[in-house]
Amino acid sequence: MSLFPILEEISQPTPSKILFVVLDGIGGLPRQPGGPTELAAAQTPNLDALAKQSMLGLQYPVAPGIAPGSGPGHLSLFGYDPIRYQVGRGALSAIGIGAEFREGDVGVRGNFATLDAAGRVADRRAGRPSNEENVRVVGKLKAAIQEVEGARVSFYTESEHRFVVILSGAELGEKVSDTDPQKTGVEPLRAHPHDPADAASARTAAVLNALSARIREALAGEPTINGALFRGISERPKFPSMQQVYKLNPACVASYPMYKGVASLVGMRVLEVVGEEDAPEGKVKALQAHWAEHDFFYLHFKKTDSTGEDGDFDAKVHKVELFDRLLPELLALKPDVLVITGDHSTPSVLKAHSWHPVPVLLHGPYLRNDPAQRFTEDEAARGTLGTLRGTDLMPLMLAHAGKLQKFGA
């Protein structure tokens, strides 16, 4: 059951401030049986000190056994039931980059990929090219392809290997399977409508299959980026806003378009961040510059996820330690409530999102004694928050910040 009707009734605006930090993909696994996870291996004196003054627990963004995508994971953290409020990655990315994305259009998230001579996927991310290289290749596609099977095609750079396609001008549907096989050594999948009787979605699938072939032709001379994989085919949804449900004035501090997209979708103001995506100092500066203007801040760090997806245990440890060094600057802002968690686990040993619960830390003025001593998976399992659903976090934050009135007589 959604708590939105109740929360809309009992939420109240107050001057208190909430800082919600999402370390993307932060949950991990030991590199060897019995060894530490990435979080446990990291040297985190500031997080350790904060954990001793906080309440910890674990949360499942969707449900036990479910490995969530970033979209469902984040919607859950913002209090939106990810089963009821579903949105594809394509829509989130399109909204996040400010693409021209109108009602009736279909947004598609693309991965530039490296295909071998037999057409099999050799690298799903084409070596993570620079944004400049992405812009160059997108420009090449714009010049070569404007229409496929009667549908207008617009290409946009997202970041690194990611790009966005907007399909428009034809009767199109969103209920279409991905072409990304999520592994190497196999050919890209063909898009299929979930229901063959759904003519609009069948048309979208036909357009995407033809577009895949056209992109391979256009990029045939490229040494690395010579194919594309499609994910998250979706139309633009409309959700209730955080202002409406929670009475908040929320803001987002993120660099990657997809996360700006999901924040915008639920009503957050997206703040400008100056600097590279793997240089989080720019995010801290944006937070500091706008601290007086909002009462809820979502602060996103990406590289704890991408290093996990790359299978680089040591690099993920380094990114955790980098965040730890920035933590004193966040604490200096004196948020009334601070929550640190992730949208899913991305263990380096799996090189993928996983179903493992994610540690969560809650710091505020009204806490019970908690035995946890560090912000790690094992310590979080000992914490007094217990095991939660991701959707439980927003009501907890609001309550600790004094933003919820009593429910009922």
Separation between Cα atoms, residue 313 and residue 30, nearest integer Å: 9
| Predicted pLDDT of residue 19 | 98
Q: What are phi and psi of 29, to 5 degrees?
A: -140, 160
One-letter amino acid at 316 equals K
Separation between Cα atoms, residue 149 and residue 204, nearest integer Å: 9
Flag whether pLDDT at 86 surpasses 90.
no
216 with 89: CB under 8 angstroms? Answer: no
Reported confidence tier of residue 89, pLDDT bands at 50, 70, 90:
confident
Reported confidence tier of residue 1, pLDDT bands at 50, 70, 90:
low
Query: Hunting for tokens 């604490």 — which residue is that?
Result: 331
Could you read off the pLDDT of 180-216 as tens digits, one per residue? Answer: 999 999 999 999 999 999 999 999 999 999 999 999 9
Separation between Cα atoms, residue 320 and residue 329, nearest integer Å: 15
For the chain, the domains span 4-87+238-400, 92-234
| Predicted pLDDT of residue 278 | 58
CATH architecture, domain 4-87+238-400: 3-Layer(aba) Sandwich (3.40)
Question: Mean per-residue pLDDT for 69-84?
Answer: 94
Could you read off the pLDDT of 221-230 as tens digits, one per residue? Answer: 899 999 999 9
Separation between Cα atoms, residue 22 and residue 389, nearest integer Å: 15
Q: Which residues of 342-379 are buried (b: 16+ CB within 10 A; e: fewer)?
A: bbbbbbbbbebbbbbbbbbbbbbeeeeebebebbbbeb
Flag whether pLDDT at 133 surpasses 70.
yes
Helices 257-265, 70-77: axis angle to 10 degrees equals: 40
Within 13 Å of residue 69, how many CA atoms lie on the same side as its CB?
17
Separation between Cα atoms, residue 234 and residue 386, nearest integer Å: 35
Could you read off the pLDDT of 255-282 as tens digits, one per residue? Answer: 888 899 899 989 999 999 987 655 688 9
Question: Mean per-residue pLDDT for 168-172?
Answer: 88
| Predicted pLDDT of residue 274 | 84
| Predicted pLDDT of residue 93 | 87
Q: Tell me the whole-structure pTM to 2 decimals.
A: 0.81
